Structure 1
Amino acid sequence: MNFFAPDDMDRFAALYPNVPGKLSHRLLDHELLALEALVGLAGRLDPGNVEYNAGDLPIGVDPQDVPHTGLSPQETIRRIEECGSWMVLKNVNEDPAYGALLEQILAELAAAVEPVSGKMLTKLGFIFISSPGAVTPFHMDPEHNVLLQIRGSKKMTIFPGDETIVPAEKHEAYHVGGHRNLDWRDEFMGHGEIFDLQPGDAVHVPVKRPHWVKNGDAPSISFSITWRSQWSYEEADARGLNHLLRSAGLEPASPAQFPERNVGKSLAFRAIRRARALGK
């Protein structure tokens, strides 16, 4: 089975890696993405890979202020229609069946990805299960990402990757342990592109593009298929080095944009990180 039509593969190749855009997929009826199958998955995953909380959130919220519902992961999924929750099952590839599914889907995309950004590295899958109206706050992620809408609808608003939206200091803090959630200002809204996702739709989200998500009026299931590239790791390391330089009172230049490389800063930061590890 092909998970994407030829026209979608052509469109993905035109978008990748820097441009967000809509695609379609053929996973709507896959048995592993049914609600009861996800109840079982939530019970098998390491508890650290299950994140869930109340879904009635503002666009911008401090991680410390996110409330919890008091339900178990399994109860949250079974009652997703009325419990007002947002949930993500992380690293679902650690489960053999879901890992095999992720590999199959990404293998189909590899023909468009690998000639552009090299071998797919650190392939991870995330499944989002959300109540009607739930909000995923404004944030960024370090992976190349295609999000597949399976059930329900949502609107994802994706913003430019320039530092007028996310300052360099926030990028740097993120790569030395900071949270993915970002500071929100209402004036950002006019700069975002809204993607209306229905079952069978997908959206390509470039590396670290700020975005937030609002569910429609029915429970939602989405499957996020992600991978890293050598470029994305170099960018992360360069940001880490810049954090150290800024802490020393310097004003470092931001990493080069794809396809330019960030080899020098990346190697320097890795050397510092190894030296610190040996020192411990």
Structure 2
Amino acid sequence: MNAATHVAPIIMAENDSLVRDFPLRPFAIRHMLAGHPLLTLPRIAELAATLPRDLIEYNSGAAALSQDPSSVPAVDLDPVEIVNRIETAGAWMVLKRIDTSPAYRALLTDTLLSVARARGFDSLEAAGFSQIEGFLFVSSPNSTTPFHLDAEDNFFVQIHGEKIFAIFDNNDGTIADEAQIEHATAEHRNLPYNDSFEPRGTHFDLLPGDGCYVPYTWPHWVRTARSYSISMAITWKTDEVRRLNDLRVVNSMLRRVGAPQAAPGQSPTWDALKLAILRTGRGAVEPLRKSETMRRVLRRIALGKNANYYLKA
């Protein structure tokens, strides 16, 4: 399907939230993706069989809200078996970068184009939707996604089953400080959770056809109910988000060698120098990332010996 001609309102929000709250606060959405043929277990199993292994992460669904990623219990099944046995596997799985498949890429861009048009824009570019990526989640009943944050904006859509999705306001940095945001951006997404955060949470009870908007770096946790769950995250990065992420990657690297940095924006000249150095180096390395083996090597060099933790299963 051609995203330039598709006009159906795939994602909808009530009370003008796409204008009033976007992109600053979470809000509920409705969508038309439940039952889509690309989002069924048989089709997801086909996708799991073809995706590079380093784009698939899975583990036991019996995780804690404050989960150390180095000690998550594993599941002794291969990715396709996880999908085929999801009702009883006791597993949580994410298929990353599904946008690398042309069919899924078209689904993602069509969906975001419907949002762009609902906000009065004629194109994805005009609406600021760039670096569009997709992540498919398949979870067994009673599974937990630990407390974490993501370094992109996200429309999260529920396809099958029920989920509780709790999003927490971190505008003042008291739930996750700048060092934690750096770490989540550059290394691992998980954050420590404390019950005192609860009053600052917005909770969404998601059934098929429901969803929510998750703002950039707002911490959240997710739980499935008594049925297996299929969900999808439709993400994008604006130019400003890419700039913040790049700065936090550099700052995280410098913090690891004992040189903690000021948050992005506090030293514009120094920020510009960091960006120039990082992006020049990335341009030289990027061709190597076409190889899965080299991606593993580069992650280990940049992030340490545990960077490929999700490939242990």
Q: Same fold (TM over 0.5)?
A: yes
SS in 1 for 2:103: helix
Paired letter, 1:170: Q
Q: Structure 2: which amino acid aligns with 1:180? A: R
- Give the C-alpha shift of residue 198 in structure 1: 0.8
Residue identity over aligned pairs, in percent, reads 35
The partner residue of 1:150 within 146, 159, 162 is 159
How far apart, CA to CA, are the structure 2 residues paired with 1:244 and 1:193? 33
Aligned equivalent of 2:110: 104
Tell me the CA shift for residue 6 of structure 1: 5.9
Q: How does 1:216-231 map onto structure 2 within 5 Å?
A: 216-231=225-240
Aligned counterpart, 1:205: 214
Unaligned runs of 5+ in 1: none
Letter in 2 for 1:270: L
Partner of 1:179: 188
Aligned residue among 18, 21, 29 for 2:27 = 21
Report what 1:53 is aligned to: 59
Q: Secondary structure at the match of 1:122?
A: coil
Match of 1:94 in 2: 100
Give, in angstroms, the shift of residue 8 of structure 1.
4.7
- Whole-Å separation in 1 of the counterparts to 2:79 and 2:44: 10
Structure 1 contact 238–262 (Cα < 8 Å) conserved:
no
How far apart, CA to CA, are the structure 2 residues paired with 1:110 and 1:171? 28
- Describe the shift of the 1:19–1:89 C-alpha distance in structure 2 as closer, same or farther (beyond 3 A): same
Q: How many aligned positions are there?
A: 274
Closer, same or farther: CA 190–264 of 1 in aligned 2, 3 Å? same
In the alignment, which of 77, 85, 100 is matched to residue 79 of structure 1?
85
Residue aligning to 2:148? 139
CA contact (8 A) 2:34 2:209 kept: yes
SS at match of 2:180: helix
Residue of structure 2 equivalent to 1:165 = 175
Q: Give the whole-Å Cα distance in 2 for the aligned partners of 1:198 and 1:278.
A: 42
2:73 maps to which residue? 67
Query: What do residues 91-118 of structure 1 show as CA deviations (whole Å, max 9, x unaligned)?
Result: 0111121111111111112233969995
Give 3-state SS (helix, strand or coil) of 1:226's partner.
strand
Q: Which residue of 1 aligns with 2:241?
A: 232
Equivalent AA in structure 1 for residue 136 of structure 2 = I
Letter in 2 for 1:192: G
Check conservation: 2:13, 2:28, Cα contact below 8 A.
no
RMSD of the alignment, in Å?
2.9
Q: Deviations over 1:140-188 (max 9, x none)?
A: 111110001010010011001231000111122334x321111122222
- AA in 2 matched with 1:272: I
Contact 1:235 1:266 in 2 (8 A): no
Any idea what SS the aligned residue of 1:16 has? coil
When residues 228 and 263 of structure 1 are mapped into structure 2, their CA distance, relative to the original with a 3 A threshold, is farther
Shift of 1:238: 3.6
Tell me whether 33-42 or 106-115 shows the greater mean CA deviation. Answer: 106-115
Provide the rounded CA distance (Å) in 2 between the counterparts of 1:213 and 1:9.
25
Aligned counterpart for 1:267 among listed residues 264, 272, 276? 272
Distance in 2 between residues matched to 1:223 and 1:277, nearest whole Å? 29
